[in-house]
Amino acid sequence: MTTHDSIHPETIHSERQTGEHILVCLSSAPSNPRIVQTGARMAQAFHGTLTALFVQTPDHATMNTGDQKRLEEHMQLAQRLGASIETVYGDDVSYQIAEFARLNHITKIVLGRSNVRRRHLWSKPSLTEKLTEIAPNLDIYIIPDAASTHNSYHPKKRFRSAAWNIQISDFFRTVLILLAVTLSGLFFYHAGLSEANIITLYILGVLMTSMATTGWSCSLLASACSVVIFNYFFTTPRFTFHVYGKDYPVTFVVMFVVALLSSALTTRLKDHARQSAKLAYRTKVLFDTNQLLQKAETDEAILNTLISQIRKLLGKHIIIYPARDGKLGTPILSPDSVSAEKSEFLTSSREQEVARWVLTHNKRAGAYTDTCSDARCHYLAIRVRNSVYGVAGIEAGEHPMDSFEYSVLVSMLGEGALAMENRQNIREKEQASLLAEKERLRANLLRTISHDLRTPLTAISGNASNLLSNHAAIDEATRLQIYADIYDDSMWLISLVENLLAVTRIEDGRMNLRMETELVSEVISEALRHISRQAAEHTITVTSTDDLLLARMDARLIVQVIINLVNNAIKYTQKGSRIQILTDKLESDVRIRVTDDGPGIPDEAKPFVFDLCYTGANRIADSRRSLGLGLCLCRSIIRAHGRDISVSDNTPSGCIFTFTLPCEEVAIHE
């Protein structure tokens, strides 16, 4: 089978739109690859969608091995060229194609036609002739196939052996039905009913036989036996096979034909019902697979879903190798394959070698193929175009998959690959979003630092220049005020740098905590010695329920937390406000609260007060100190201690910042 490298499925997929919808018909004919390739070129030229349809008829079960192999190769070719594989079931191929085209909004159909003409007037019309007749509104493109004239390819229709083999159970059912019908007929005969009623009774018996047995054999046997039994028991002379009436032979023939046609129709309806049930079940499995894959949140969950659903579809053992960075991962087996014997059977070195070949070449291999046909499983790639996300192995079993099972399996694996691709896209988007957020924070930080550093640096340089130029002309009180301003600005800059370094070290996990048992009151006292000089304009008090509260902490960092919280209260409250530091014990924790009676924090701003560079509506609290690092640093330090910090409203006004530390008991040595 030859293919043309100029046709790429990626091109067809990338150019698909909602315009032309091309349909090609799949068959086992040697010329079918040319039809598929022509349809792929048309889909590419019209920027349309390509669908490959296979109509499965009752004769499909009798298809020989060569035809089945060619059909599978043609399906694989259509799939490689970007076609969606679909399968329908029915006796009338042209009607099935026309109905599928109508329901799926097909705009163009590509068919093959040989140069062989109808030999007789009573010969059946060809597929192209019937399709042109029943679907006149479709654009049908007929590709001449001169090669078929020489090859004279005609698929051989053989009787299905399974349909003509009489099973013992079916034979006994047939005998019982004929016996029951004969006894009922004898009752009717003695009751004086006409022969027409008895003939109808035997036709009913044939119908019951068709419904109670499988295949055509018992139905044909019942039809023939009905005529013989009717002749023996109910025609004159009775209990012989002789016939006196001239009309009886016609009656027998009509009776046999009616019985045979009735059984044939009943058997055909049973076949259709059986195929419809299979189609409904497989469609449900495919639909459920789609729903479950949408709910799966990890790649492993997606692969486990595929295993369970393929197991439902085929009833065979399944193994899936996840693929990452061009290598196979640890295989995942179906739940009923985890036994040591079965696991060794499915994961042998030979099987893994075949799976690696499928991953490398992005083609199927293993059982029922020409590549590594000695393998015990049939391997297919879980792929979307050229991206392979895993390799699925299906145990070969006694019989290969039919075309419809194979197409459903390929669809399920494609859905799984698409779900894994979506998961990968989501992860990449999340990473890109995280990087963008980091870049945004970095840009905001740099912009805020450059803005907030400009004012204190300008004040420092201006005051220093004023002292250098006009030192003698400035009185002592003014000089002291300038010195104080320079000191305040420089201390703020030092605090800023320390906070920045502390935040980055803690967030990156590079700060080692020196955890020791400390007296909480001493830590608070140390912090109050380093708070802002503006503290004199406020009333700051410390209240504790226990003067000997001990806690496990890094004292240096907790001092920084209290300094930041108190300075934050000083910065954003009015002069003369009351600031309290409250400590108490809560079971195994020490609780520390910093309260104020200022204007408070709006409810919509509370979730963001601990974010980096967030200052709420107070963009510039004192014309320079608005960087918003203090509370972010506090949260990072407290979380590094394994606890958390929160903010709430104070009564009647203001806010409360609360954090906890691990409590330590006082050890008394006697």
SS3 of 624-646: the string is CCCCCCHHHHHHHHHHHCCCCEE
pLDDT score at 69: 79
Residue 384, in any domain of the structure? yes
Structure tokens at 185: 């007929």
Q: How many CB atoms lie within 10 A of CB 116?
A: 12
In terms of C-beta distances under 8 Å and separation of at least 24 residues, what long-range contacts does 543-548 make, across chains too? 543/580, 543/581, 543/582, 543/583, 544/520, 544/582, 544/583, 544/584, 545/583, 545/584, 545/585, 546/583, 546/584, 546/585, 547/521, 548/519, 548/666
- Inside any domain, residue 112: yes
Residues 179 and 56 in one domain: no
Q: Are residues 105 and 225 in the same domain?
A: no
Q: What is the pLDDT of residues 318-377, one digit of tens each?
A: 999 999 888 898 999 888 766 777 778 788 889 999 999 999 988 888 888 888 888 889
Domain that holds residue 167: 161-274
The domain that contains 387 carries what CATH number? 3.30.450.40
Could you give the CA distance from residue 411 to residue 380 in angstroms, rounded to a whole number? 12
Confidence (pLDDT) at 627: 47
Q: What is the pLDDT of residue 646?
A: 93
- Would 353 be classed as within a structural domain? yes
pLDDT at 613: 60
Q: How far is 566 from 523, CA to CA, in rounded Å?
A: 14
Three-class DSSP category at 48:
coil
What global pTM score does this model have? 0.53
Judgement on whether residues 30 and 86 belong to the same structural domain of the protein: yes
Q: Which CATH number goes with the domain that contains 634? A: 3.30.565.10
Query: Could you tell me if 302 and 405 lie in one domain?
Result: yes
Out of 369, 399, 414, pick the residue that ends a domain. 414
Please indicate, yes or no, if residue 88 is contained in any of the structural domains. Answer: yes
- For β-strands 516-519 and 550-553, DSSP reports them as antiparallel
Residues 519 and 653 in one domain: yes
CA-angle at 112, arms to 109 and 118, nearest 5°: 115
At 262 the pLDDT is 74
Q: What residues in the chain have per-residue pLDDT under 70?
A: 1-19, 60-62, 113-124, 145-165, 215, 243-245, 337-338, 441-442, 444-452, 496, 499-500, 502-511, 612-629, 666-670
pLDDT value of residue 123:
57
Cβ-count burial 525-560 (b if 16+ within 10 Å, e if not): ebbbeebbeeeeebebeeebeeeebbbbbbbebbbb
Residue 530 lies in a domain: yes
Q: Give me the number of domains the chain comprises.
A: 4
Nearest by Cα to 210 from 269, 161, 272, 263? 263
Predicted confidence (pLDDT) per residue in 84-103, tens digit? 888 887 777 888 888 888 88
At residue 581, the pLDDT reads: 94
pLDDT tens by residue, 29-43 = 888 898 999 999 998
For residue 463, being part of any structural domain is answered with no
Provide the 10 A C-beta neighbour count for residue 400.
Answer: 16
On whether both 130 and 176 belong to a single domain, the answer is no
Give the whole-angstrom CA distance, residue 127 versus residue 94. Answer: 6
Nearest to 73, CA basis, from 27, 5, 24: 27
Structural domain contains residue 433? no
DSSP 410-471: HHHHHHHHHHHHHHHHHHHHHHHHHHHHHHHHHHHHHHHHHHHHHHHHHHHHHHHHHHHHHT
Is 565 in the same domain as 622?
yes
**Residue at 423 is within a domain:** no
Q: Strands 21-25, 108-114: parallel, antiparallel or unpaired by DSSP?
A: parallel
Q: List Cα–Cα distances, 57 to 112, 229, 540, 545, 644, in angstroms.
A: 19, 35, 92, 89, 70
Cα angle 206, 210, 211 (rounded to 5 degrees) comes to 120
Assess whether 139 and 170 both reside in one domain. no
Write the CB contacts of 294 (distance below 8 Å, at least 6 apart in sequence). Answer: 419
Q: What is the CATH number for 101?
A: 3.40.50.620
Pick the last residue of a domain from 118, 151, 184: 151
Q: What is the dihedral of CA 97, 98, 103, 106, to 10 degrees?
A: 80
Residues 649 and 529 in one domain: yes
Same domain for 122 and 185, yes or no, is no
pLDDT of residue 5: 39
User: Does 317 lie in the same domain as 236?
Assistant: no
Amino acid 161: pLDDT: 46
> Does residue 542 share a domain with residue 645?
yes
Residue ending a domain, among 414, 434, 451, is 414
